[in-house]
Amino acid sequence: MDTNKTLMLPGAKSTIAGDVDSLFNFILYTTGAIFILVVVVMMYFAIRYRQRSGKAEVTSGRDYNHVLEVIWTVIPSILVMVVFFWGFKVYMKMNIIPRDAIEIKVTGQKWFWTFDYDEGINIVNELVIPVDTPVKLLMSSQDVIHSFFVPSFRTKMDVLPNRYSLLWFESTEVGEYDLFCTEYCGKGHSEMIGKVRVLPKVEYEKWLVESAVEDTTTPLAELGEQLFKKKACFTCHSIDGSRLVGPSFKGIFGNPVKHNDGTTATVDENYIRESLLDPQAKVVDGFAPVMPTYQGQLTDREIDGIAAFIKTLK
Ligand SMILES: [Cu+2]
């Protein structure tokens, strides 16, 4: 994660970030200066013309000053125009997507991010991109409104259900950056955290090739444990027996589980497979039917791995 700990935003690491910061600082410092000026003048008048014992109250007879009127109309108008045109220029730069941008599909859902690449790669909570390359994100939500925010890139866009939104940026430095959801989206909102991993171009190409081939060598239970983290199952399931949004995996394998329709089933490989591909088919008693389907997102071997992993959690 970005270790740049400051009161302000973390270091600017995209092509647009510098523009955003300049405009932000301009607004901050001009309003700051005006604020100080107003407070100082106000305090001066309050002291200078305070009521003193023995003296009659004096109120100025003047109620109009042409020069003052012109000054405090013209200066703020100019400032507002500057902020408008400056902001418009940066806004256009943020919204005109370069033709050569690589496109990645982003899906937000309670409470994690999924990134789909043309190469057939599908990862959760980690966006991997090449440095110095424009990246276009095509975003949508499976449920409620989320918002995609990378502070280091100064870029943020709402992610909506039933509608696509677009966002582009170009990172300027290799590294790992925080990714947050900035639209309150329910109980797990604060855990809807990911990262953006920016790789040198050559390494990105290598990553694409390596990630596109299926992992057939990792032992099943280990693969399942990796997926538990990679697919963000942990946002809803614990492995230590504590109850989160979903039931804990600890000790469930081989034991009966009660469903909200009164039926009972034994947790085995088939049951886990069904839970992943058609989660609402049987809903565990006492839990809401909010488990997302992993249909099309997990290979058979990966499902085997998850079952093997759950089996180890005695
Ligand atoms: Cu969210």
Could you read off the pLDDT of 209-246 as tens digits, one per residue? 888 777 777 889 999 999 998 888 998 999 999 999 99
176: left (phi over 0), alpha (psi -120 to 50) or beta: beta
Signed CA dihedral, 93, 96, 99, 101: sign only: positive
pLDDT at 49: 83
Residue 57 lies in a domain: no
Do 117 and 204 have their domain in common? yes
Do 251 and 229 have their domain in common? yes
- Residue 51 predicted with pLDDT over 90: no
Confidence label for 1 from pLDDT (cuts 50, 70 and 90): very low
Do 197 and 245 have their domain in common? no
- Residue 248 predicted with pLDDT over 60: yes
pLDDT at 29: 95
d(CA 193, CA 124): 10
Q: Which residues are in the CB-under-5-Å shell of ion ligand 1?
A: 146, 181, 185, 192
Domain boundary among 188, 212, 236: 212
CATH number of the domain within which 231 lies: 1.10.760.10
Task: Give the residue from 141, 98, 136, 94 showing the smallest Cα distance to 117.
Answer: 136
Residue 54 lies in a domain: no
Do 108 and 73 have their domain in common? no
195 C-alpha to center of ligand 1: Å?
14
CATH number of the domain within which 133 lies: 2.60.40.420
Residue 125 lies in a domain: yes
Do 254 and 159 have their domain in common? no
* Residue type at 114 in one-letter notation: T
Average pLDDT over residues 28-43: 95
- The fraction of the chain above a pLDDT of 70, given in percent, is 98
pLDDT at 212: 76
10 C-alpha to center of ligand 1: Å?
21
pTM of the model: 0.70
- Residue 43 structure tokens: 């305090």
Do 164 and 87 have their domain in common? no
- Mind listing the pLDDT tens digit for each residue in 129-184? 999 999 999 999 999 999 999 999 999 999 999 999 999 999 999 999 999 999 99
121 C-alpha to center of ligand 1: Å?
22
146 C-alpha to center of ligand 1: Å?
4
Do 199 and 272 have their domain in common? no
> What is residue 48's three-state secondary structure?
helix
Cβ contacts of 292 within 8 Å, gap of 6 or more? 109, 110, 142, 279
* Residue type at 268 in one-letter notation: D
Residue 27 lies in a domain: yes
pLDDT at 144: 94
Residue 236 lies in a domain: yes
Average pLDDT over residues 302-309: 93
d(CA 61, CA 98): 62
Domain boundary among 212, 241, 266: 212
251 C-alpha to center of ligand 1: Å?
30
- Residue 4 predicted with pLDDT over 60: no
Average of per-residue pLDDT values in the chain: 91
186 C-alpha to center of ligand 1: Å?
7
245 C-alpha to center of ligand 1: Å?
15
d(CA 73, CA 184): 40
d(CA 139, CA 275): 26
Domain boundary among 193, 212, 231: 212
The kind and range of the H/E element at 178 are: strand 175-181
Place of tokens 């919204």: 95
- Domain count within the chain: 3
Do 107 and 184 have their domain in common? yes
114 C-alpha to center of ligand 1: Å?
12
Do 14 and 84 have their domain in common? yes
106 C-alpha to center of ligand 1: Å?
12
Q: Which domain holds residue 274?
A: 220-312
pLDDT at 5: 64
188 C-alpha to center of ligand 1: Å?
8
Higher pLDDT, 57 or 18: 18
265 C-alpha to center of ligand 1: Å?
33
